[in-house]
Amino acid sequence: MPTAKVAITIDERLLREVDRWVASGEFPNRSKALQEALLSFRQQRTRGRRLLGELAKLDRQEERALAEETLAADVAWPEY
């Protein structure tokens, strides 16, 4: 995949953490660490959008009825 150089401004503490990852051998260099972080961020956003899309398809009343039905069948409430 073609790559491009970019300049970024990053918090010094975060950069020190990235440098620790590189020093420990988790990543070969800063660039690879930041690329992996961006890929992970993109994947999380994609999963989040998919989840929200699927949740939007749910019928709240139907889900509530199913949950109450399951609770009533599975749990015997103690007498106080």
pLDDT tens for each residue of 65-79: 887 876 666 666 667
Sign of CA dihedral 17, 20, 2, 47: negative
Determine the Cα–Cα distance for residues 25 and 48; give it in Å rounded to an integer.
30
Within the chain, how many helices (H) and strands (E) appear?
3, 0
Q: Which residue, among 31, 7, 9, 6, has the nearest Cα to 19 in the 3D structure?
A: 31
**Mean pLDDT on 8-27:** 96
**Mean pLDDT on 14-31:** 97
Write the CB contacts of 18 (distance below 8 Å, at least 6 apart in sequence): 10, 27, 30, 33, 34
Q: Chain-wide mean pLDDT for the chain?
A: 87
Query: Could you report the per-residue pLDDT of 35-54, keeping only the tens digit for each?
Result: 999 999 998 888 878 888 88
What is the pLDDT, as a whole number, of residue 5? 93
